[in-house]
């Protein structure tokens, strides 16, 4: 398979779906949103964007299956699977906050080999494939060379409901506040990851994410020279539901800071 050519076609598709989302955001009626669960919003834009992606990706790689947030196609491929978040940052989108993106990764078995994250508001297309380096639009990107947490800007996402974890999460936040340049909370995990890849953030951590939130970002961070792990420092970050991404240098301090306060929830 020619991953470079597939990446080019994937970028074109993500750009076109991103343009659709941005267009629908103009004059978007909040009354059209649905609630999947507590603090779990979805709109017709998420669903239509996903349908467009699935249709386009079926043409690009007919043998691949799908893992998607809105469940347009649940067929699993024997080897290849597209992992799709059609609109990452739905809450931002619904509120007219221009911080959302399209995120699509391709898995070969249990490994992400290709990914694109497109932000239609900044017209930034982040992409990477295994062994090919990471890019934003036409330029090569790499993680920040800041050596220590005290020189770093750290991103996170807040838990959506209380697993009984809010207090320890706030303690982790407090520790990062005093040990880094600061904390940012954008509301799109895919953007958080690619901002680690291009050096805007030194690190990012979040609990309870899904594979579609992170698949594309994972390969982009890897190819940009970053490090990824679960909170414990190891484990599958795509389906593992928790992630730490960093420039590598600040990773040990991040794991240490999280580990001081984070005790596994009672399932
Ligand atoms: P979404 O916008 O695609 O739903 C930000 O913290 C991340 O969490 C985003 O990637 C967002 O993805 C996701 N997210 C938003 N609401 C969520 C919920 N109720 N449960 C789990 N993840 C959610
Ligand atoms: Ca969602
Ligand atoms: Ca998401
Ligand atoms: Ca989504």
Q: How far apart, in Å, do the first and last CA atoms of the chain sit?
A: 41
pLDDT at residue 84, as a whole number? 98
Phi, psi of 190, rounded to the nearest 5 degrees: -65, -40
User: In the prediction, which pLDDT does 264 show?
Assistant: 67
Give the ipTM of the model, two decimals please: 0.96
Cβ < 6 A, ligand 1 pocket: 39-40, 69, 85, 88-91, 157, 160, 187-189, 206, 208, 213
- Confidence at residue 267, expressed as pLDDT on a 0 to 100 scale: 47
In a domain, 265, yes or no: no
One digit per residue, pLDDT tens: the chain, 267 residues? 899 999 999 999 999 999 999 999 999 999 999 999 888 999 999 999 999 999 999 999 999 999 999 999 999 999 999 999 999 999 999 999 999 999 999 999 999 999 999 999 999 999 999 999 999 999 999 999 999 999 999 999 998 877 788 889 999 999 999 999 999 999 999 999 999 999 999 999 999 999 999 999 999 999 999 999 999 999 899 999 999 999 999 999 999 999 999 886 554
Task: Tell me, in angstroms, the distance from the centre of ligand 4 to residue 214's CA.
Answer: 11
Whole-number Å distance between alpha carbons of 98 and 123: 11
Q: How far is the CA of 40 from the centre of ligand 4 (A)?
A: 10
User: Rounded CA gap, 148 and 180, in Å?
Assistant: 9
Q: Which residues span the domain enclosing 159? A: 149-259
For residues 250 and 178, membership in a common domain is answered with yes
Instruction: Evaluate whether residue 127 is within a structural domain.
Output: yes
> Is 213 assigned to a binding site?
yes
- Same domain for 213 and 103, yes or no, is no
Structure confidence at residue 265 (pLDDT): 57
Where does a domain end: 104, 119, 140? 140
Where do we find the tokens 């994937």? 10
Q: In the chain, how many domains are there? A: 2
Query: Do both 55 and 91 map to the same domain?
Result: yes
Q: Based on the domain organization, do 99 and 37 belong to the same domain? A: yes
Asked if residue 6 belongs to a known ligand binding site, the reply is: no
Q: Are residues 160 and 244 in the same domain?
A: yes
Which residue minimizes the CA distance to atom 17 of ligand 1? 40
88 in a labelled binding site: yes
Compute the distance from residue 221 Cα to the ligand 4 centre, in Å: 20
Assigned domain for 155 exists? yes
Q: Which of 91, 93, 186 to mutate to test the pocket of ligand 1 (most atoms within 8 A of CB)?
A: 91
Asked whether residue 249 falls in the same domain as residue 125, the answer is no
Please report whether residue 255 resides in a domain.
yes
The pLDDT, as a whole number, for residue 39 is 86
* Ligand 4 center to 89 CA (angstroms): 6
Domain contains 189: yes
165 with 229, same domain: the answer is yes
Last residue of a domain, one of 106, 140, 174: 140
Verify that 128 and 241 share a domain, yes or no.
no
pLDDT at 127: 98
> The domain that contains 35 carries what CATH number?
3.30.540.10
* 266 belongs to a structural domain: no
Verify that 129 and 211 share a domain, yes or no. no
Is residue 264 a part of any domain in this protein?
no
Report yes or no on 76 lying in a domain. yes
Report the separation in Å between the CA atom of 1 and the middle of ligand 1, taken as the mean of its atom positions.
32
For residue 181, what is the DSSP state?
A: S
Q: Which atom of ligand 1 is nearest to the CA of 69?
A: 3
Verify that 233 and 116 share a domain, yes or no.
no
* Residues 175, 55 share a domain: no
Quote the CA–CA distance of 126 and 141 in Å, as a whole number: 9
Query: The whole model's pTM is what?
Result: 0.97
Alpha-helix residue ranges (DSSP H) falling in 62-165: 90-94
CATH number, residue 203: 3.40.190.80
- Pick from 111, 140, 169: which residue ends a domain? 140
Partners of 116 in beta bridges: 104, 127
Q: What are phi and psi of 74, to 5 degrees?
A: -110, 15
Do 171 and 132 fall within a single domain? no
Nearest alpha-carbon partner for 167 in 57, 262, 51: 262
């Amino acid at each position: 398979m020619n991953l470079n050519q597939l990446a080019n076609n994937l970028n074109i598709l993500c750009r076109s779906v991103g343009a659709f989302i941005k267009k629908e955001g103009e004059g978007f009626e909040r009354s059209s949103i649905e609630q999947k669960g507590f603090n779990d919003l979805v709109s017709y834009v998420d669903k239509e964007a996903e349908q467009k992606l699935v249709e386009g990706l079926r043409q690009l790689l007919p043998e691949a299956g799908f893992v998607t947030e809105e469940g347009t196609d649940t067929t699993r491929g024997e080897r290849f699977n597209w992992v799709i978040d059609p609109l990452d940052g739905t809450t931002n989108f619904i509120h007219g906050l221009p911080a959302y993106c399209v995120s699509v990764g391709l898995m070969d078995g249990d490994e992400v080999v290709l990914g694109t994250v497109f932000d239609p508001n900044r017209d930034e297309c982040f992409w990477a494939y295994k062994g090919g380096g990471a890019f934003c639009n036409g330029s090569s990107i790499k993680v920040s060379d800041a050596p220590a947490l005290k020189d770093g800007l750290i991103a996170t996402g807040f838990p959506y409901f209380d697993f009984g974890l809010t207090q320890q999460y706030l303690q982790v936040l407090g520790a990062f506040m005093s040990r880094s340049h600061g904390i940012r909370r954008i509301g799109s995990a895919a953007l958080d990851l690619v901002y680690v890849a291009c050096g805007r953030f030194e690190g990012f951590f979040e609990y309870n994410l899904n594979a579609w939130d992170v698949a594309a970002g994972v390969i982009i961070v890897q190819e940009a020279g970053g490090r990824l792990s679960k909170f414990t420092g190891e484990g599958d970050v795509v389906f593992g539901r928790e992630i730490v991404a960093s420039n590598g240098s600040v990773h040990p301090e991040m794991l240490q800071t999280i580990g001081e306060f984070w005790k596994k929830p009672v399932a």
